[in-house]
Amino acid sequence: MSTADAMRPRVLITDDEPDIRNDLSDYLSHLGYDVSVADDAGSTLSQVTETAFGVLLLDDMLPDESGLEILPELLDIRPSLSVIVMTGCPTVKSVIKAMRRGACDFVVKPFELDELKTAVHRAVQRNRRLVDEAFRNCKDTTRDSGAVTNLISQD
């Protein structure tokens, strides 16, 4: 993988409809994102566990489990993941549920690609901010505990 590839934000698209997966994948790849796809909740959980995605586009209605149901588990695995929930049947209750479970955005199908582009861009910025914060906190904790000095002296 080249340095340029490594810098591309990683986006996972989860949708059980192949046309939506393919169209979104083509569109976001064209915009420069490093895109992967999943077609159910199980595959989403395993891919998020294995790969440090920054953004997840998560359909609510999946064949094995609802996207909103697996949202807390996904954020336990990757707290900095920015999750955009997608649904064709929006209700006030489902938006509130997404909010309380840690989604950062919610888009209603069918959506304009421009709306999605803006949402993904915002989600990438949020992910970068959270990763930076986590890195800073980790550095502070490490410095406070003297672990950095220990690591250096071990070299």
Partner 1 sequence: MEHPSILVVDDELLIRDLLYDFFQDQGWDIAVAESGEQALEILEEKKVDVLLTDLRMPAMDGMALTGQVRKSFPGIPVVIMTGYPSVESAVSALRNKVADYITKPFNVNELYKRVESHLPREDEETA
Residues that bind partner 1 (CB under 8 A): 90-92, 95-96, 98-100, 103-106, 108, 122
Residue with tokens 């672990």: 147
The nearer residue to partner 1, 10 or 122, going by C-beta atoms, is 122
d(CA 67, CA 81): 14
Question: 53, 45, 46, 89: which is closest to 69 by C-alpha?
Answer: 45
The nearer residue to partner 1, 45 or 95, going by C-beta atoms, is 95
The nearer residue to partner 1, 21 or 97, going by C-beta atoms, is 97
Question: 96, 87, 91: which is closest to 66 by C-alpha?
Answer: 87
Smallest distance from partner 1 to CB 81, Å: 16
The backbone torsions φ and ψ at residue 8, rounded to the nearest 5 degrees and listed phi first, read -70, 130
d(CA 39, CA 61): 11
Smallest distance from partner 1 to CB 24, Å: 19
DSSP state of 55: E
The nearer residue to partner 1, 34 or 60, going by C-beta atoms, is 60
